[in-house]
Structure 1
């Protein structure tokens, strides 16, 4: 079992599940189902399966990551020791519901933006829960989104504080290109048209327009086009993007929209574990 998940599980259990041990005799075998109580997209099934199997609980998966589900659908069937099933129930459900909520929100937002630009990429940022970032990113993928960076070693992403220390955009991009392997893309976060032009001219692969209004984004795109630089870089927008304003950015013709909203503001998809 993943060490992070094992710690979460055993932090919840502590020394023992007092209630379950008091009420349920050892060796009692039961059957149970995990049921979805609302429509959405499933994620975290393999993770839940791993948790149950760690306790010798037999599973039969009925819905897989990325599957659409409706209220009443059975996600997984369980058979095994009653004490074990009830003890790990909450942890498995919490992770499954959290990941499915992220996948569902990602899927909904992606469907909306694809109506305007079928080639646009919707990505999750690193605004994730410490210790759960891999699983939350995996949920974004299950919903059809792009994971962006899992960790700091995935790619170069030069942010405003990096630039503040180094001195300027040009120097930051040059230093990154000198240091990083050719296998690593170089992305830089900018806040105005001048810096976007400088980043593109210096050889950045991706220019992130951070916390800009749709009108400011449009101006940057026009400036890049006028300088013959638009086709040399991917343009990503990020910062404060949510379901209420995302379409205004999509209409501007950017390549990537990244948002922390799909991880930090997703509502868990409601599910329950029912003993048969």
Structure 2
């Protein structure tokens, strides 16, 4: 994480912040605030704290990751060298705004589904921005969602292209079971009722019902129940899920709803950094 933050900062700075170095003399001190400009769930506060601390800027956190914020609320107070603060400003705000937007959308979706299915999990996917996956997953957690896999080594997830090359659900699960440690869960993505039943009979830990309608999901769950397999497997639904249809999938009784929408369609939350007169 620290190396990722350092890369973002120095990619933005280059050799130096020539505007700030030209206008602001060294040896000054300034106070400032990071302020919300709209309602939402804040995220990225801990990371902003780490960045400022690394550069010797003092901070006081007034709103923690995952807390609700309203317009004009102060999230963090800062004090230190204005040359450092101005140089870090855009990187800190971009990260916080992006993460807060994801946390806000996640929270909205979680609140919606819990009204009809209190136990369902809302999860992200690996459809994240390259280089930002750790931060975007952290934002999902701040919004009350589940991160799903961070990386490929977290668990086994057999997808459609794996199945196309291996030749079938049962064979893929058998190979995965032989290769994986007992500590790793094995998930498989299926697109039909027949594949879902085959996966459950072959003892998959998690079955992802991909791009099925809510009615199709309900039918799969009913069929699993009739065979006495429903309680043996975690059912995840995924594919094209958004604010308009997530309630339909929550009502099916699925255990997990995963949505790339959380990251690829989240709107950044508007935040600002305001500085007071130097002294």
What interval of TM-score do these two structures reach, taking the shorter chain for normalisation? over 0.9
Runs of 4+ that moved beyond 2 A: none
Structure-2 residue corresponding to 1:128: 128
Structure-2 residue corresponding to 1:106: 106
Aligned mates of 1:213, 1:140 — CA distance in 2 = 25
CA RMSD of aligned residues (A): 0.9
Q: What is the Cα deviation at residue 4 of structure 1?
A: 1.5
Aligned mates of 1:53, 1:128 — CA distance in 2 = 27
Structure-2 residue corresponding to 1:158: 158
Q: What is the Cα deviation at residue 214 of structure 1?
A: 1.2
Structure-2 residue corresponding to 1:32: 32
Aligned mates of 1:255, 1:8 — CA distance in 2 = 36
Aligned mates of 1:143, 1:215 — CA distance in 2 = 28
Aligned mates of 2:4, 2:50 — CA distance in 1 = 13
User: How many residues align structurally?
Assistant: 276
Aligned mates of 1:81, 1:48 — CA distance in 2 = 16
Q: What is the Cα deviation at residue 245 of structure 1?
A: 0.7
Structure-1 residue corresponding to 2:49: 49
Structure-2 residue corresponding to 1:146: 146
What SS does structure 2 have at the residue aligned with 1:127? coil
Q: What is the Cα deviation at residue 204 of structure 1?
A: 0.3
The alignment's TM-score, normalised by the length of structure 2, stands at 0.97
Deviations 1:43-77 (A, max 9, x none): 11111111111111111111111111111111111
Structure 1 stretches of 5 or more lacking a match?
none
Q: What is the Cα deviation at residue 119 of structure 1?
A: 0.4
Aligned mates of 2:144, 2:266 — CA distance in 1 = 15
Deviations 1:81-122 (A, max 9, x none): 011001100000000111011111101110000000000000
The alignment's TM-score, normalised by the length of structure 1, stands at 0.98
Structure-2 residue corresponding to 1:176: 176
Q: What is the Cα deviation at residue 27 of structure 1?
A: 1.2
Q: What is the Cα deviation at residue 231 of structure 1?
A: 1.3
Aligned mates of 2:207, 2:258 — CA distance in 1 = 12
What SS does structure 1 have at the residue aligned with 2:43? coil
What SS does structure 2 have at the residue aligned with 1:147? coil
**Does residue 84 of structure 2 align to residue 84 of structure 1?**
yes
Structure 2 stretches of 5 or more lacking a match?
none
Q: Within 5 Å, which residues of 2 pair with 1:1-276?
A: 2-276=2-276
